[in-house]
Structure 1
């Protein structure tokens, strides 16, 4: 018989404890999604309860309570999907940890929604549907509820498959589908829909082109020169100034509409002043940071980390100010329609409705955001601080250009298009340099097709999945919305 303190006894005990530990870890892994779903369900119920208390005994109280639940569900999905575009590049470049990115984004998204979120929104998103086709108040309410629910379901599905999609386009498709179901094809403003369809191509192409151009500039002015540190001291303050100018204009036009109205020429002047000021102020900081750095590419990453963190915060603030309307705009329209029994072309968003949107986006980000943040930040192509800087800058510049041209663009398409642009430029630059080396050295056996595909720097599977999701978004949400409208109308009739 083995002694009570024999090594065999403790070895057996260790193995048993290890099995229990693995079982506990597996249980936590399985229950993690259930925890998120539970918190989400609790938030939706609290939103409905708050609506029930705050609206008092007005007519159609039950309709508003259900709409509040739908709005909370949509806000959660916006946080889970859309916010990844703002912080994903910084996380992929390791300028921010996942926890740090979620904390910064949650605070800035909520601040943007509550401080600068639009207090008046169009009830017929982007003039998609002729309001006269939904003149009956009850029909309008069912259309807005169907649009809200269908958009939330589609964004939820896209998050599940790992595809960042446009929540704006989801709402547009939902409004269009409900409008067709309620008033027929003639009710759709096809001119506006054509402009939105064009933005599917314009947004990512423009964002990708600007990001690629910025990366090309950084490579040829800083990375490919002999003295990289001296080049960085010269050009990084200029690049910080460009970013400051772009974000000053971006926030002036898009992020601060509720606080102050600023036209484009004034915003450009503000951007020019901010750009010069930050370029001058950042020069001593870059000089200090570059002291003692080795003359190699890895050293340059340090100089771009702080601008990336600031850009993630600013993008999140502006996103919260603008895209919160995707969650609460239809809800505010339903609240107004239930009070007036009519259709208003624009409505004010009550504070309690805005709070639902702001907190819903933050909860959705914290509970489900890491999946899409990882996708945008590292799974499409490998990002470092320089490449992520180009993506963030392209997002701000593209929105400014689109506002000037009057084009309806998606921040999701722009940011992800920027990631694609950086990745495809890296592929082109890599092949160019390889060919140049082969010409100057002994020719080698050319790579086969399989090996060439394996060495691609942009993962084609993710590229095809995301593009397919973009193309399908409006038709899918329109179909879902039509079905939801039919179901809600049938229930109301009975």
Structure 2
């Protein structure tokens, strides 16, 4: 039974990464598509390539010190004594369910937070069944750090994007508009590649941590053993393939509904998003790519005027961010309860 359940969990984890790819494809390509620098098909090919290159950079070229710090953080969301295969299963089912719901409605919610919320919710429910205070099942420092960056990541992205845009506008104030436009369209290829690279390095690691926990829970590996190479290969491949399948409803929201984005502003937003993700990846903090790039897009909008940002759309996105962890935890609790006695 454990072997069968382990296979199911690993398959669900890979499916989650695939869904994460098309759900979060918009993060990497929304601005470059909305500015018509690349067609949607060209953009997803570009994003998928750099999603996978992130794995090669970490594994073979020592990027981020050659460590998958975000994966390690996610794996520690629930304390070891409360982790079972059914906890992992319920967390993944919850995360997949919420991702599909938000994708269907075109809401750019966080795949990272739904995964952590699902995992934590299942672990807390298991603790409750064992007669233990549910909150003792989770690693409080990991959860609080993750929750804090729901709000910090978009503000960091916003600030960096605002500053970059102001600097670029000052440097290029005497440039010919047509010439500057060509340079920024080329620059968007570089900035979107950097964002896709950062997205791959950030998001694929989260499922790597979950699969590692599943292998540990089923005693296939021991705690402290190195992560088998096939795990990052499978996760990065799945997220790259998912990106290839696109996510056009969310592209529309990110690329045009928040604020109108020009190539100059696309370069600023994507660069700010990439910088924010690179910093948090080095710190091992599982932040949301969605939140980060949304904040960056708002930042470039604010350089024009406050009214350039469609605050009604933005407020709806913020509410989606806030409810993602608790709803994912609730779904996971229901799923765990349903499968506990099977």
TM-score (norm 1): 0.61
Which of 297, 309, 314 is the equivalent residue of 1:419? 297
What residue ranges of structure 2 are gaps of 5+ in the alignment? 60-66, 128-133
Q: How does 1:431-470 map to 2 (within 5 A)?
A: 456-470=307-321
Q: Secondary structure of the equivalent of 2:37?
A: coil
Q: Secondary structure of the equivalent of 2:109?
A: coil
Q: How does 1:224-239 map to 2 (within 5 A)?
A: 228-229=174-175
Does the 8 Å contact 1:114/1:321 carry over to 2?
A: no
Distance 2:224 2:118 in 1: 17
What residue ranges of structure 1 are gaps of 5+ in the alignment? 1-58, 135-139, 230-294, 429-455
Q: Does 1:156 pair with 2:100? A: yes
Match of 1:104 in 2: 46
Q: Using the TM superposition, give the Cα deviation of residue 298 of structure 1 relative to its aligned residue in structure 2, in angstroms.
A: 4.3
Q: Secondary structure of the equivalent of 1:132?
A: helix
Q: Using the TM superposition, give the Cα deviation of residue 396 of structure 1 relative to its aligned residue in structure 2, in angstroms.
A: 3.0
Match of 1:489 in 2: 340
Match of 1:191 in 2: 141
Q: Does 1:212 pair with 2:92? A: no
Between 117-126 and 301-310, report the one with greater CA deviation.
Answer: 117-126
Match of 1:337 in 2: 217
1:403/1:124 Cα in 2 relative to 1: closer, same or farther (>3 Å)? closer
Does the 8 Å contact 1:120/1:347 carry over to 2?
A: no
Does the 8 Å contact 2:161/2:272 carry over to 1?
A: yes
Q: How does 1:319-358 map to 2 (within 5 A)?
A: 319-340=199-220, 344=223, 348-351=227-230, 353-358=231-236
Does the 8 Å contact 1:114/1:358 carry over to 2?
A: no
Match of 1:81 in 2: 23
Q: How does 1:89-488 map to 2 (within 5 A)?
A: 89-113=31-55, 116=58, 125=74, 127-134=76-83, 140-183=84-127, 184-223=134-173, 228-229=174-175, 295=176, 297-340=177-220, 344=223, 348-351=227-230, 353-400=231-278, 402=280, 409-428=287-306, 456-488=307-339
Match of 2:62 in 1: none
Q: Using the TM superposition, give the Cα deviation of residue 346 of structure 1 relative to its aligned residue in structure 2, in angstroms.
A: 6.3
1:205/1:383 Cα in 2 relative to 1: closer, same or farther (>3 Å)? same
Q: Secondary structure of the equivalent of 2:305?
A: helix
Runs of 4+ in 1 over 4 A off after TM superposition: 117-124, 400-408
Distance 2:236 2:146 in 1: 26
Q: Using the TM superposition, give the Cα deviation of residue 402 of structure 1 relative to its aligned residue in structure 2, in angstroms.
A: 4.6
Q: Using the TM superposition, give the Cα deviation of residue 123 of structure 1 relative to its aligned residue in structure 2, in angstroms.
A: 6.5
Match of 1:53 in 2: none
Between 112-121 and 81-90, report the one with greater CA deviation.
Answer: 112-121
Q: Secondary structure of the equivalent of 1:392?
A: helix
Q: Please provide the CA RMSD for this pair.
A: 2.7
Match of 2:14 in 1: 72
The total of aligned residue pairs comes to 329
Largest Rg, 1 or 2 = 1
TM-score (norm 2): 0.85
Q: Using the TM superposition, give the Cα deviation of residue 126 of structure 1 relative to its aligned residue in structure 2, in angstroms.
A: 6.1
Distance 1:83 1:330 in 2: 21
Q: Secondary structure of the equivalent of 2:52?
A: helix
